[in-house]
Amino acid sequence: MDGSPPAPGIGALGDLRRRTASEEVVDRLRRAILGRVLAPGTRLVLSGLAAQLGVSRTPIREAIRDLAAEDLVDFDSYRSATVHVPTLAEAREIYELRLTLEPLAVRRAVPRIGEEALARARALHAAMLAADHDVGTWVLLNRDFHAVLLDPAGSPRLLAIIAGLRNSAAIQVALSIRANPARIDEGNADHRRLIEAYARRDADAAVELTRAHLRGTLRVIEEHERELAGAARAAR
């Protein structure tokens, strides 16, 4: 993972007293990847990242392993780490599974959700509105928002599978926003309607809103890939 100059724009971590160095590094690198400060395909160099973040190589190494588990980082046969490059086939697989499983979890969660969870969802929605198109921050808040709404489903295995898919989808969500920045405003509107459906215990509406929300992200990714393919053909 050594031998290349550090990637620009991540910034030193500063005070690490309240969180471990590894937790801070994971958070900073995750945001850098989702915000494309570290673009897909970027090689992650231990020495360069350690110098930028002001930590030793150990928390960098641990963070990279954690991010690989979230499908944000890939290792090649030489154990070099690079930022994951999302593909259309991968997006279709992830969203097919999410469209199958999340409506089931929503239907279980809606009648069980309490006021505390709704308050947390509203707070996350407010934070997304305040994110001001900071893609990395918005994508992470989006992930937490959907987790809060689904947690009351009371099915640990189902929720664990969905959480893994949601982690894998994070880089796809970021891609959809880069392709169409209006997805943030559309997502915020979808989230408001989801909260309203949960609050009135309308499982049917919440399921349909969830399906439309997921399909909207996949549609943007597919349209983006078609545009890229068309541009490549025109350039030949």
CATH number, position 56? 1.10.10.10
Dist CA 106 CA 146 (whole Å): 10
Is the confidence at residue 8, as pLDDT, over 90? no
Query: Alpha-carbon dihedral of residues 24, 26, 29, 32, nearest 10 degrees?
Result: -80
Question: And the tokens for 180?
Answer: 């169409």
Q: What is the pLDDT of residue 19?
A: 60
Listed residues 65, 83, 101: the one ending a domain? 83
Tell the residue number behind the tokens 């809060």, with chain if given. Answer: 148
Do 207 and 94 fall into the same domain?
yes
26-67: pLDDT as tens digits: 999 999 999 999 999 999 999 999 999 999 999 999 999 999
Dist CA 121 CA 113 (whole Å): 11
What percent of the chain has pLDDT above 70? 92
Closest CA to 144 of 171, 116, 125, 158: 125
Count: domains in the chain: 2
Do 108 and 219 fall into the same domain?
yes
Residue 158 CB partners (closer than 8 Å, separation 6+) = 101, 104, 105
Domain, as residue range, for 125: 88-235
Answer yes or no: are the C-beta atoms of 174 and 35 closer than 8 Å: yes
Q: What is the pLDDT of residue 230?
A: 82
Q: How confident is the model at residue 155 (pLDDT cuts 50, 70, 90)?
A: very high
Amino acid code (one letter) for 53: L
Listed residues 37, 55, 83: the one ending a domain? 83
